[in-house]
Amino acid sequence: MAASSGEHVLSLYRLLLKESKKFPSYNYRTYALRRVRDAFRENRTVEDPKVVEELLNRARDSLALIQRQVLVQKNIDVVTCGFCRVC
């Protein structure tokens, strides 16, 4: 794996961790962090460029999914708190 590719992988890993930490729900947050860490650890020995590219594409898709889910959960919390008498 080239140095720039390694830097790109590390950057994507950090971004996935950063976005996962934004989940308002503890359970979702810990699950997402665990899955990101486990997936990167599991695939750290992969050297085939085609496989690396496929894994990077999957990671980018996961990043987009995490970003959408964080927004959805935050919007649900706002709506719930607007109608809730307890909050």
Mean pLDDT for 74-82 is 68
User: Does 78 or 66 have the greater pLDDT score?
Assistant: 66
Whether residue 80 has pLDDT greater than 70:
no
User: How does pLDDT run across 37-68, given as a tens digit for each residue?
Assistant: 999 999 999 999 999 999 999 999 999 999 99
In this predicted structure, what is the pLDDT of residue 1?
45
36 burial level (CB within 10 Å; 0-12, 13-18, 19+): buried
Q: Give domain limits for the chain.
A: 5-82
With pLDDT > 90 as the criterion, what percentage of the chain qualifies? 76
Q: Mean pLDDT for the chain?
A: 88
